[in-house]
Structure 1
């Protein structure tokens, strides 16, 4: 049996090279895990037919779709492989993220965890369509996303249930100051952000609903089964308890992005949803499980959400500054950060006037 595994492992490496990957592009630990999974399923005929496809749009990790022939069938086994990005420990605790993933998987949310290895993990490949940037402007799809988001926010996850947003941003600000040049320290006014964060946190010190938030609900983290019209939210690296208004606001901000263009870092705030679109989304969100919200409830949450867009801009602005120094993915993180900070300063006087 051991010699069989080694033979399959050798053929895996040859297959990876034949698909255009440099030697060592996929870690040896990953290849061993794939061979082990294939043997468990008993469906591999020829690992020389291994196919590896890198999926675009990821900015924290590198994501691959990997498939091979199934035994006695004219179809292929497909898994998703996630190679963790460099420096991600500055953004979140990877052990906690894996625990969240496992918990979500056990409760039937998102893909199943098939295994992990140093530097990454293997997940179930969901045979559903990942949304595109244009999909977020579709009212029918938007209502489905709102309903699924409400369901997500109601999850009872292990661990503390207090707001994590502000402490996380303060930690990121410390790292951003440590990493960036004097030039960028001044350009992004990082020395002023301690006061900005304090003012924002005080602005939101009112009674607000806290839920388990995704915190990164861009279109690439939303999938739809075209047959059942069911929505699946994936990728929980940044998930934590937060004000639900913040999570909705972050989703609205992501409507300005298209990460599958020649310039994925460029944001178009003309695509930011207008008032009626925001009200429709909040109404669909609050209508989950048959609830009938009043117009007052809808307007109140919509107003809170619009203010929390400011926090989203600072959150991802700081993320961009740090990522520029720790991540090698081909993405202009600094220009992305520049646009988020600019949007913060543009919208702040209109929304909170401080």
Structure 2
């Protein structure tokens, strides 16, 4: 834990030390306007929702510019990635303005907004806005590795699970009702599943490599108060990846609700099997991508169907990704109070339930080539 995280974790937000610190940051990165601000004028409010960082809204009763203070909890490499990505999006008007960054965090523009909830992202109107926002982000060129990180992280997570003593993994009992899965799976067989999905995705979608958010849950989507437009935030896990993986990650997570229950999540099986936001989302993506590239679709309906199929193909892969990561995290007990095993078992059950559909898509597209 770095110094600034310790400061904000161990002290009340109205403490002298914290008030002095936010004034110092204001002066350093926003200039003279913060020089005459008195501690009695300042309000520091914690913003709920950040999983990989602490967020605070810093404002005053003076005319000094308010700001959002983001203190990172993740490792140095993710912090660096997040800052680079944030700076790129900020410069292009695709995110809040970056006021400055420092060891352990950054200061950014505070945008009055609403963080979306699970019920919001399945609303057809909002889903269309999210779908229309994706192509612009996907079109950005970022100077980072072009390797497909999702499969690499799965393999690294599985290795971590083994290194921490993990062996044969039970996929029973689960909270979901799906039963079309093995009762247990060995790390060796799980690695075969990862490699199989990697091969299939490369064969079908090798040319669909784009810069991806990789973690676009509803909590990482803002709806701005000023114009109701959609903005994506929290890019610390961003990398180049298969386009369909990024879209499927958002769609699959919109069928999941974070809860205070022992397993931490509830998977909506009806939305998993028949997502109500899939078609409007894909229609908006296709329409805006064509607009962005200044092209007229020769067959819009076919483009939409192909994108739906692409999302469906990658859908189980997102659950396989989370299962591998959660299995490793469960070995180090990083989330006390959450039963990581139930969470991983549910993810694996969904993976095996949806895998036949991906196989059907693979065989259909391979046969048609």
Listed one character per residue, the Cα deviations across residues 82-136 of structure 1 (whole Å, up to 9, x for unaligned) are 22225x46xx643233212211111211122222233222222122222111101
| Structure 2 residue 206 is matched with structure 1 residue 218 | no
Q: How does 1:335-350 map to 2 (within 5 A)?
A: 335-350=342-357
Indicate the residue corresponding to 2:195 in structure 1. Answer: 198
Deviation of 1:238 after TM superposition, in Å, equals 1.2
TM-score (norm 2): 0.76
SS in structure 1 at match of 2:66: strand
The higher-RCO structure (CA 8 Å, 6+ apart) is 2
Listed one character per residue, the Cα deviations across residues 5-39 of structure 1 (whole Å, up to 9, x for unaligned) are xxxxxxxx89x944478x99x79977743453465
Q: How does 1:149-228 map to 2 (within 5 A)?
A: 149-179=134-164, 181=166, 189-208=186-205, 209-228=208-227
Listed one character per residue, the Cα deviations across residues 285-342 of structure 1 (whole Å, up to 9, x for unaligned) are 1011535453222222211211211221122223333445375687555543332222
Deviation of 1:50 after TM superposition, in Å, equals 3.5
Q: 1:185 to 1:272 in 2, by over 3 A?
A: closer
SS in structure 1 at match of 2:153: helix
Between the two proteins, the alignment pairs up a number of residues equal to 331
Deviation of 1:346 after TM superposition, in Å, equals 2.4
Q: Is the Cα–Cα contact under 8 Å of residues 122 and 276 in structure 2 kept in the other structure? A: no
Q: Which sits farther off after the overlay, 174-183 or 338-347? A: 174-183
Q: How does 1:128-167 map to 2 (within 5 A)?
A: 128-167=113-152
| Structure 2 residue 245 is matched with structure 1 residue 239 | no
| Structure 2 residue 37 is matched with structure 1 residue 45 | yes
| Structure 2 residue 95 is matched with structure 1 residue 110 | yes
Q: 1:42 to 1:205 in 2, by over 3 A?
A: closer
Q: Which sits farther off after the overlay, 76-85 or 240-249? A: 76-85
SS in structure 1 at match of 2:317: helix
SS in structure 2 at match of 1:267: strand
SS in structure 1 at match of 2:265: coil
Q: Is the Cα–Cα contact under 8 Å of residues 176 and 322 in structure 1 kept in the other structure? A: yes
Q: 1:20 to 1:31 in 2, by over 3 A?
A: closer
| Distance in 2, Cα, partners of 1:236 & 1:330 | 27
Q: Is the Cα–Cα contact under 8 Å of residues 83 and 120 in structure 1 kept in the other structure? A: yes
Q: How does 1:1-354 map to 2 (within 5 A)?
A: 17-19=11-13, 32-34=24-26, 36-37=28-29, 39-42=31-34, 44-71=36-63, 77-86=65-74, 88=75, 93-179=78-164, 181=166, 189-208=186-205, 209-259=208-258, 261-263=259-261, 265-269=264-268, 270-272=270-272, 274=274, 277-288=277-288, 289-290=290-291, 291-292=296-297, 293-324=299-330, 325=332, 327=334, 333-352=340-359
Listed one character per residue, the Cα deviations across residues 227-262 of structure 1 (whole Å, up to 9, x for unaligned) are 423211111111111121111111111112233x43
| Distance in 1, Cα, partners of 2:70 & 2:349 | 32
Q: 1:125 to 1:37 in 2, by over 3 A?
A: same
Structure 2: gaps spanning 5 or more residues: 1-6, 172-183, 363-369
Structure 1: gaps spanning 5 or more residues: 1-12
| Distance in 1, Cα, partners of 2:253 & 2:243 | 16
